[in-house]
Structures are given as structure tokens and as C-alpha cells.
Amino acid sequence: MAERIEVDPDALAGAAGLTEEVALGVRSVLTTLEQELVTYESAGPDQPWGSDKMGKKFIQGDANNGYQASRDNLLQGLEGMAGTLEEFAAGQREAVTALTTADQPAL
């Protein structure tokens, strides 16, 4: 036997708006972080970690697990999170449209 579910389209539309706000916030953090990293990473020999053996170890790590790999993973993760939240919001909006049109009589 199928269970009955109820959905409030207005509440779902509000949730879609909130989900989209979170996505925009994550994307804003990502953009700000990328801009700030450019400042440090394009400093050439004056980078904060230096260009000596210890600086190279910081960047590369022991097995390509240093700062550079961690930075790349973080940026990719933030991009993925923002994209996923954007897709959630779009799905919520599509559900609202489907629910509200399903309740209208056919002409």
C-alpha cells in the first residue's frame, strides 16, 4: 500500500530560495579564497613559504600531499559543494512547478 505524502509548495519554494542562498554563499567564499590565494601564490620568490628546501617541502609534501594538493582539493570541494547546492535548488523549484501544475485541472 502506498503511503500518502503531503508537500507545501510554498514552503518548498522558500526552501529552494534558502538552498540557493547557501550555494551563493559557498560560491562567494570560493571566489574570495581564489582571489586571496592569487595574491600569495603569484608573489614569485617572495612567497610566504619561501623557495628553499623547507618551502618546497611545504608546497609538495612527502608524496604530493603538501599545500598545493590540499589547496586544489579544497577548491574542487568548494566548487562541487556550490554546484550540488545549485542543483538541489533547481530540483526543488522543478518540484514546486510539478506539484502546482499537477493540482490544476486539465483544460
Residue 84 lies in a domain: yes
Residue 67 lies in a domain: yes
Residue 60 lies in a domain: yes
Residue 8 lies in a domain: no
Does 1 or 100 have the greater pLDDT score?
A: 100
Name which of 39, 37, 66 is nearest 53 in CA terms: 66
- Tally of domains in the chain: 1
With a CB cutoff of 8 Å and minimum separation 6, the contacts of 86 are: 20, 23
- Cα separation values, 103 from 8, 29, 93, 95, Å: 12, 40, 16, 12
Residue 27 lies in a domain: no
With a CB cutoff of 8 Å and minimum separation 6, the contacts of 26 are: 78, 81, 82, 85
Scanning the chain, the segments in alpha helix (DSSP H) are 9-41, 53-60, 67-102
Residue 84 scores a pLDDT above 90: yes
50-61 pLDDT tens trace: 888 998 899 899
Residue 102 lies in a domain: no
Q: What is the DSSP letter of 104?
A: S
Residue 92 lies in a domain: yes
9-46 pLDDT tens trace: 999 999 999 999 999 999 999 999 999 998 888 767 77
Residue 64 lies in a domain: yes
Q: What residues make up the domain containing 77?
A: 45-96
Q: pTM score, two decimals? A: 0.81
